[in-house]
C-alpha cells in the first residue's frame, strides 16, 4: 500500500519515485524533507520580498527554492520557479508577475494536495 502523502504528491505532479531513489529509497526521509520545505520561511520571505519589489533578494530565495524543488522532484513548482528565477536573474522581464502568480497558485495547489 502506497503512503497517502506519496500518492497525493504523485497526483499533484511530483516525481516521488526519482526523488526517493535519490534518498536511497528512504521514503520517510523524503517526506520529512517535504515537510521541511513546506514549513521553512523561504516562501514567506519570497512573497514579502516580491511585494517590497526587492528583486535581487527575491532572486536569491527563488533560486534556493528552485533547487529544493529539483531535489524533491516537485516538478510543477520547480518549472514555475525556473521561470520566476529567470525573470529576476538580470533585469526584470515583463513576464515576472504572470510567472510569480502562477508559482503562487501552484504552491497553493501543493499545500492543498498535502492536506
Consecutive 10-residue averages of pLDDT for the chain (115 residues): 86 97 95 95 96 96 97 97 94 92 97 94
Q: For residue 59, which of 97, 85, 95, 96 has the smallest C-alpha distance?
A: 85
Whether 38 contacts 65, CB under 8 Å: no
Q: What are phi and psi of 56, to 5 degrees?
A: -65, -45
Q: Mind listing the pLDDT tens digit for each residue in 70-89?
A: 999 999 999 999 999 999 99
492543498: which residue's cell?
112
Amino acid at each position: 500500500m502506497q503512503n497517502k502523502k506519496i500518492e497525493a504528491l504523485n497526483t499533484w505532479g511530483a516525481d516521488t519515485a526519482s526523488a526517493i531513489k535519490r534518498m536511497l529509497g528512504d521514503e520517510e526521509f523524503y517526506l520529512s524533507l517535504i515537510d521541511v520545505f513546506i514549513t521553512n520561511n523561504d516562501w514567506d520571505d519570497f512573497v514579502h520580498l516580491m511585494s517590497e519589489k526587492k528583486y535581487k533578494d527575491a532572486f536569491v530565495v527563488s533560486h534556493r527554492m528552485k533547487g529544493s524543488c529539483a531535489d524533491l522532484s516537485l516538478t510543477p513548482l520547480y518549472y514555475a520557479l525556473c521561470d520566476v528565477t529567470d525573470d529576476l536573474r538580470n533585469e526584470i522581464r515583463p513576464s515576472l508577475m504572470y510567472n510569480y502568480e502562477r508559482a503562487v497558485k501552484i504552491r497553493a495547489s501543493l499545500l492543498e494536495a498535502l492536506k
